[in-house]
A and B are shown apart, each in its own frame.
Chain A
Amino acid sequence: MSAELDPVIHAPNRLQMCCMLAQADTIDFATVREALDVSESVLSKHVKTLEEAGYAKVRKAASDGRQRTWLSLTPQGRKALKGHLAALKAMMAGVPEA
């Protein structure tokens, strides 16, 4: 696992989204949007960025009579997140305790 910051994940919203997706199998788009407190268009852009990097998968499925969008992290995305978090922790080595 390379401990380097990943520019795709480094944006705060994308980092939070990746962390959420890494802990669950799949999360509804609306739930992620509510958790991050961002607009649909902003979240769509982040999702597209992650999808284009091969880090996230998007699936549309009908549920309770309406179309919902489900997001999940790919194995590649999980690996990138692990590397990114390891890099952040390594950088913290020089930070004194608060």
Chain B
Amino acid sequence: MESKEVPVTRDEDALRMLAEVEAANADLAERAKAPIWYHSALGLLMGGLAAIQAAPLPWQFAYFALFGLGCWLLVKAYVRKTGMWIYGYRSGRTRIVAVGLATLCGGLAAVSGWLFHMKHVTNAPFLAGAIIAVAATAGGFVWEAAFRADLRDGTGL
């Protein structure tokens, strides 16, 4: 199908072109949906980062390698399903969600590490890990909703 060049610049054409922009964004919103298990898997990996603070150092290093491998596999799975990659911290509502989530998870992990090492609260990393896993899973779905909202009103260009 050969596309036509459009030299006309009437108001009606502008309306039609903007409708096409909306259609492209709606199509992208559908295509950009992650696999259903994606956010849960990422949540578990992130929760594990906090929980592993309670384990001996060699286990922590082993988990870091597992975390890296897990993230790599998640990226591959996302790209294979959607045919695209979207930076999590892209501008728009999505950046607010991503920064908020990173701050919450990083803060919880830091506090749990401090409680474990300095105050000897042995279950703090596990509790923080569980909260982070749930928050990151829910946050993933919130991020997707924010992305769809950005696409609807053209935010984040």
Residues of A within 8 A of B (CB): 5, 10-17, 19-20, 22-28, 30-31, 34-35, 37-39, 42, 46, 63-64, 78, 81-82, 85, 88-89, 91-95
Task: Give 3 nearest A-B pairs by CB, closest first.
Answer: A31-B83, A91-B14, A16-B24
B96 at the interface (CB under 8 A from A): no
CA distance A5 to B27 in the complex (A): 24
Interface residues of B in 52-100 (CB under 8 A from A): 79-80, 82-87, 90
Contact A23 B151 (CB under 8 A): yes
Residues of B within 8 A of A (CB): 1-7, 9-15, 17-18, 20-21, 23-25, 27-28, 31-32, 79-80, 82-87, 90, 147, 150-151, 154, 156-157
Q: Which residues from chain A contact B10 at a C-beta distance below 8 Å?
A: 91
CA distance A25 to B147 in the complex (A): 13
Contact A30 B83 (CB under 8 A): yes
Contact B31 A35 (CB under 8 A): yes
Q: Which residues from chain A contact B32 at a C-beta distance below 8 Å?
A: 24
- A78 CB to closest chain B CB (Å) equals 7
Contact B17 A12 (CB under 8 A): yes
Interface of chain A, helix or strand or loop or mixed? helix
Contact B80 A35 (CB under 8 A): no
**Which residue of A15, A19, A31 is within 8 Å of B84 (Cβ)?**
A31
Contact B85 A11 (CB under 8 A): no
- B4 CB to closest chain A CB (Å) equals 7
Q: Which residues from chain B contact A35 at a C-beta distance below 8 Å?
A: 24, 27-28, 31
Q: What are 21 of the A-B contact pairs (CB < 8 Å)? A: A10-B6, A12-B6, A12-B20, A15-B20, A15-B21, A19-B24, A20-B25, A20-B27, A23-B25, A23-B86, A24-B84, A25-B90, A26-B85, A28-B84, A31-B82, A35-B28, A37-B1, A64-B80, A85-B18, A91-B11, A95-B11
Q: Which residues from chain B contact A46 at a C-beta distance below 8 Å?
A: 3
Contact B84 A82 (CB under 8 A): no
Q: Which residues from chain A contact B83 at a C-beta distance below 8 Å?
A: 27-28, 30-31, 34
CA distance A30 to B31 in the complex (A): 13
Give the residue name and chain of the A residue nearest to B28 (CB): A20
Give the residue name and chain of the A residue nearest to B12 (CB): A95
- B107 CB to closest chain A CB (Å) equals 27
CA distance A4 to B9 in the complex (A): 11
